[in-house]
Chains A and B, each alone.
Chain A
Amino acid sequence: DTEVTQTPKHLVMGMTNKKSLKCEQHMGHRAMYWYKQKAKKPPELMFVYSYEKLSINESVPSRFSPECPNSSLLNLHLHALQPEDSALYLCASSLTGLAGVAKNIQYFGAGTRLSVL
C-alpha cells in the first residue's frame, strides 16, 4: 500500500468556522508533512512531524494547528481562516525523519481543495 489518503477532497468554510483536514498513511513512514499550494505555484512547506513530534514549523500563523495523534495520522486544524488561505493543502509522508538519509522520498496525497469565504 503506497497510498496517502487525504480527507475531505474539497472543503468550503467561513472565516469563523473550525474545521480539520485529515491525512493517513500505512506505509510505516515516520515523517509526515503539510504543504500549502496556490495555483500555478510550488508547494510551500508548512509543518514537518518526525516520529510524531513537530520538528519544523515554517512560521505558519497560529490559525493553522497541526496534530499527529499517531504514526499513521496527521491532522491540520483550521480556525478563523482568511480568504487568502484558500489553496490546495497537500499531505506527504516519507520513510524517516532522520537527517542525511539518501533515499528519503515523499509520497503525496491528492490534496484537499480549501475555499475560505
Chain B
Amino acid sequence: SQQGEEDPQALSIQEGENATMNCSYKTSINNLQWYRQNSGRGLVHLILIRSNEREKHSGRLRVTLDTSKKSSSLLITASRAADTASYFCATVKGNQFYFGTGTSLTVIP
C-alpha cells in the first residue's frame, strides 16, 4: 500500500493549545500536502510543501518535511473549536495522491 501512516489517530485538546500531528510515508514524492475534512464532507486543502523544502508556514499552520526520514508534521497553533475535524496528509507524485490514515482532532471550547 502507498498509504501513509499518521499519528496520533485521535487528539483532544483545549482551545488555545497547540496541536501536532505526524505523517510517515513510504515512497518518493514531488510534494506532500495536508487536507482537512469536516464530518461527512469533502476534503479541503490546507498547505503544500515541496520535496526540496523543509518548513512552510501559512497563518496558524506550520508544516515540516524530512525526506530522509520520509516524515512530515503539521502544527496548528492557538487552536479553535472550529479546527475540530479530521486531518490527512497526502503524498503526491504527478497526479497520484495517496492519503494517510488521518488524525481526528477535537478542540474543546
CB-CB < 8 A to A79: which residues of B? none
CB-CB contacts of A67-94 with B at 8 A, as 1s and 0s? 0000000000000000000001010101
Q: How many residues of A contact B (CB 8 A)?
A: 34
CB-CB < 8 A to B41: which residues of A? 110-111
CB-CB < 8 A to A60: which residues of B? none
The verdict on B78 contacting chain A, using a C-beta distance below 8 Å, is: no
Q: How many residues of B contact A (CB 8 A)?
A: 27
The verdict on A104 contacting chain B, using a C-beta distance below 8 Å, is: yes
The verdict on A61 contacting chain B, using a C-beta distance below 8 Å, is: no
Return the contact of A45 from the options B30, B33, B88, B96 (Cβ within 8 A): B96
In the bound complex, how far is the Cα of B9 from the Cα of A77, in angstroms?
33
Task: Please state if A97 and B88 are interface contacts (CB–CB under 8 Å).
Answer: no
Task: Please state if B42 and A111 are interface contacts (CB–CB under 8 Å).
Answer: yes
> Could you list some 9 contacts between A and B, CB below 8 A?
A48-B95, A92-B42, A97-B95, A99-B30, A101-B94, A102-B31, A102-B50, A108-B35, A111-B40
Q: Which residues of A does B touch, CB under 8 Å?
A: 4, 31, 33, 40-45, 48, 50, 55-56, 88, 90, 92, 94, 96-111, 113
